[in-house]
């Protein structure tokens, strides 16, 4: 059974966010990067937008071009595409895939409770600009490291889904550091301090040849750009994580080591769609995080609330950040690929469940 929640709030819905361009409408506001800034919690929220116009018999696929400030919409006859799920279509002529939306990042400031919105930026804080970001930038994970907020994010383009790195001190001026994990790789989480004089990261390669379902790996770097010493960390396999596992929240220091909140999916054989996304926990060794010391016996969060069960992609809880308040753990997540939610749990109960 999942843990008893102290509180759950739907923080941000698509209708709360103005679109970035008149040709688009906001489809989702979800999967936020999370930063503690003074007494406040700031979020970099992924905003997914889709064409506002609808043309009977046609499918509009948005993208950005590096040399154009406005989004481009490619209109294709419905007969030329095959729907994979609500997020993705396959082009019949080439077999290549396209997203039905394009994403950017928007800054949202919460108050000191971490559960109430103070302000939502009226324009994108970070929008697609490079050839690696043609189809959007997604799912930031923020780590405060050596005086800067570093965040990994997924870039999507005809080259595939990569993970890039950016950093900021004020969430106004943002420096892009480029691709750090090539396709297909997502869910890259930086540890908030050096380990054995190196930077460390969790990541989730997704090879085209599935000898194994997607699993969590760990890697090390001298400079946050060049990564090596890759090795698998955890592959899942229990009933509620039989489809895939991946890192979710950047690892957090606790007395016994590193607390990692990861996501897992369950999908029955032959089941269509993406399955059910849940949140679970593991404890990594403080000095050798490639070693798992303990692992949760059950998920800590499963889709329960209406906004977690109903949306663009139903039955999804996808954590992307957390903060600790006294003995409470606030976990921020994308809900049903539509909204941003926060659930408050007892930190002691989370640790006792390992």
| Dihedral (Cα; 35, 40, 46, 49), 10-degree rounding | -160
The side-by-side arrangement of strands in the sheet containing 81-85 is: 81-85, 88-91, 97-99
With respect to residue 196, please indicate whether it lies within any of the assigned structural domains: yes
Residues 242-247 have a mean pLDDT of 92
| pTM: predicted TM-score of the whole model, two decimal places | 0.96
With respect to residue 79, please indicate whether it lies within any of the assigned structural domains: yes
Tens of pLDDT along 128-152?
999 999 999 999 999 999 999 999 9
Cβ neighbours of 119 (radius 10 Å): 11
pLDDT of the residue at 2: 81
Range(s) of the domain holding residue 93: 7-352
With respect to residue 341, please indicate whether it lies within any of the assigned structural domains: yes
Tens of pLDDT along 24-60?
999 999 999 999 999 999 999 999 999 999 999 999 9
Number of domains observed in the structure of the chain: 1
With respect to residue 279, please indicate whether it lies within any of the assigned structural domains: yes
pLDDT of the residue at 210: 79
What sign does the CA torsion over 239, 240, 244, 249 have? negative
Tens of pLDDT along 207-234?
887 788 889 999 999 999 999 999 999 9
Among 126, 154, 158, 160, smallest CA distance to 140 is for 154
Least confident of 63-67, 88-92, 185-189, 298-302: 63-67
CATH number at residue 275: 2.115.10.20
With respect to residue 23, please indicate whether it lies within any of the assigned structural domains: yes
C-alpha distances (whole Å) from 129 to each of 102, 175, 306 are 12, 12, 35
Among 219, 220, 250, smallest CA distance to 233 is for 219
With respect to residue 2, please indicate whether it lies within any of the assigned structural domains: no
CA 344 vs. chain centroid, Å, equals: 19
With respect to residue 36, please indicate whether it lies within any of the assigned structural domains: yes
Length of the chain: 354
With respect to residue 1, please indicate whether it lies within any of the assigned structural domains: no
């Amino acid at each position: 059974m999942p843990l008893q929640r102290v509180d759950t709030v739907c923080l941000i819905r698509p209708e709360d966010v103005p679109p970035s361009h008149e040709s688009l409408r906001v489809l989702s506001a979800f999967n936020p990067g999370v930063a503690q800034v003074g007494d406040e919690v700031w979020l970099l929220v992924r905003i997914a937008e889709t064409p506002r116009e609808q043309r009977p018999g046609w499918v509009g696929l948005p993208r950005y071009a590096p040399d154009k400030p406005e989004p481009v919409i490619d209109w294709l006859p419905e007969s030329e595409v095959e729907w994979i799920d609500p997020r993705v279509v396959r082009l019949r002529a080439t077999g290549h895939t396209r997203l039905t939306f394009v994403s950017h990042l928007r800054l949202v400031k919460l108050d000191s409770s971490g559960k109430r919105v103070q302000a939502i930026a009226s324009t994108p804080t970070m929008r697609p600009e490079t050839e690696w970001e043609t189809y959007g930038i997604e799912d930031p994970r923020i780590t405060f490291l050596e005086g800067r907020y570093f965040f990994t994010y997924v870039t999507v383009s005809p080259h595939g889904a990569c993970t890039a790195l950016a950093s900021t001190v004020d969430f106004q001026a943002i420096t892009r550091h480029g691709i750090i994990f090539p396709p297909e790789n997502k869910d890259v989480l930086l540890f908030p301090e050096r380990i054995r004089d190196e930077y460390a990261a969790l990541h989730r390669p997704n090879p085209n040849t599935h000898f194994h379902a997607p699993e969590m790996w760990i890697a090390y770097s001298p400079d946050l750009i060049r990564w090596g010493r890759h090795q698998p960390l955890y592959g899942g396999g229990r009933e509620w994580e039989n489809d895939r596992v991946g890192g979710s929240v950047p690892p957090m220091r606790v007395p016994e080591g590193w607390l990692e909140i990861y996501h897992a999916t369950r999908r029955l054989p032959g089941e269509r769609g993406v399955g059910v996304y849940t949140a679970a926990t593991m404890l990594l060794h403080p000095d050798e995080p490639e070693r798992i010391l303990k692992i949760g016996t059950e998920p800590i969060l499963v889709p329960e609330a209406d906004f977690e069960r109903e949306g663009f992609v139903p039955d999804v809880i996808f954590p992307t950040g957390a903060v600790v308040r006294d003995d409470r753990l606030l976990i921020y997540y994308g809900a049903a690929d539509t909204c941003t939610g926060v659930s408050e749990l007892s930190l002691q109960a989370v640790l006792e469940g390992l």
